[in-house]
Amino acid sequence: MAKVKTYPAYLVMSLVIILDQVTKAVVRNKLPLYSWINVGEKWFGDTFQIFHLQNSGAAFSLSLPNPLWNKGFFIAVSVIAIIFIIWLLYQSTNRIQVIAFGLVLGGAIGNNLIDRPIFGAVTDFISVDIPNIIKGMDRFPVFNVADSAIFIGMCLLIYDLIFISGKKVERKEAEPLLETNDKILDKEL
């Protein structure tokens, strides 16, 4: 089996970081903190908004009690996670995994190794209204391009695990049974 090329992961990672940082810079420079604008209001009302928030915690604003602890903890965890993801990248067996790891790397670097050290918090700005599936939650938590890249990358990895890599494992497990059955048939003939 040929080794999968990993350079596309670094291209994807670079594109995610650039898109993430450019969009965050525009929001920080053009939209005051805690203000928003509706996107496509004529067609969608207030379903889609650009809403400027600074998040010093993790996803959904989960955080430790001290902002300095938050910053240090999330940077340290990100460095460890990035090293692990790069290791996984070099273990990749197909292009979907390579692209997925590129998306996750770009998101992790954009949020936790650029925003946190430089700005002290992550700039979130994409706000989407959701149906009232969860009581008391009218809008999905505000997120950004890096968060989206991580989510899409994880979805691709789950898809790969279920439909691609999982099928290879099933096939490999079935092969010894076929060989055994062939040997039994040969003996009987």
DSSP per position, 122-133? EEEEEEEB--S-
Per-residue b or e along 21-30, where b marks 16 or more CB atoms closer than 10 Å to that residue's CB: bebbeebeee
Give yes or no: 124 in active site. Answer: yes
Q: Which of 127, 146, 139, 121 is nearest to 28 (CA)?
A: 121
* Cα 51 from Cα 43, distance rounded (Å): 18
Exactly one of 46, 115, 138, 147 is catalytic; name it: 147
What is the β-pairing status of strands 36-38 and 122-128?
Answer: unpaired
**Radius of gyration of the CA atoms of the chain, in A:** 22
Distance, in Å, from the CA atom of 146 to the CA atom of 153, rounded to the nearest integer, reads 10
The three-class DSSP label of residue 51 is: strand
Active site residue 20: no
Among 115, 124, 129, 160, the one annotated catalytic: 124
Q: Which residues have C-beta within 8 Å of that of residue 92, sequence separation ≥ 6?
A: 4, 6, 9, 98, 101
Q: Which are the catalytic amino acids?
A: 124, 147
